[in-house]
Amino acid sequence: MKTVTLSTLQAVKRAGETFSCLTAYDATFAHAAGEAGIEVLLVGDSLGMVLQGHSSTLPVTLDDVCYHTRCVARGKGASLLMVDLPFMSNATTARLLEDAGALMRAGAEMVKVEGEAWMADGIRELSRRGVPVCAHLGLTPQAVHRLGGYKVQGRDAEQAGRILEDARALVEAGASMILLECVPASLGRAVTEALEVPVIGIGAGADTDGQILVMHDVLGITAGHTPRFVKNFMAEADDIQGAFRRYHEDVKARRFPAAEHAF
């Protein structure tokens, strides 16, 4: 696989194709995912739940994310490395810039930030300074307590319209990519068609430009409740790299997600 850049993903969108994304937290799994063809690796603040055993992503610190970013950067190969800004990194623009700088120095090639249209100023400042940004909309786990739990967002027309307008505003501000989590498939399609930048989905239907899952879910070792949008690819593989490869191939062929994984 050639080195994946933002330009690579933009070309995939223009061609009407799709790309695969997966979380990674260390060098070994990053290498296995890259060898399987995964185009984008995410050091997600999901590490707070799948590695640290917390009930949410909120306890994850910048130091935690920087540590895992450095690990993944050493093993990722040709994959593009995207990294989550942790809870409250977006409290002020100054903090956003400082925390994003720390992640980029640790090896990030793009940062992901949760928030709505009010994040436009911060994204604009990051973009001005050469930091590629993925804006995370829909179910934003850092806002889990405000949302009242891990619930599908955008089910009614008003909320769906607001998410679409937020996406447009953040792209206009400089976001290079949008990630939609847990929204109806119809909204995932509408946002993808409305924007020129790539749109990644997780529980957002089959029509987004890319798909992402948490590595532990792909391997069938999810603790507790298994979300509807998850599939255990380890059940169809002989080894971990085979599971990653099956996930990648099913995403590329648009076999995953299927109707049963959508809202």
- Catalytically active residues, by annotation: 181
Nearest alpha carbon to residue 62 among 40, 83, 82: 83
Name residue, tokens 């009407």: 16
Is-contact 214 46, C-beta < 8 A? Answer: yes
Is-contact 190 164, C-beta < 8 A? Answer: yes
What is the C-alpha separation between 154 and 162, in angstroms, rounded? 8
Is-contact 236 27, C-beta < 8 A? Answer: no
- Counting every residue, how long is the chain? 263
- CA-based torsion, 127, 132, 95, 101: positive or negative: negative
- Residue 93 tokens read as 């623009």
What is the C-alpha separation between 4 and 194, in angstroms, rounded? 24
Is-contact 43 29, C-beta < 8 A? Answer: no
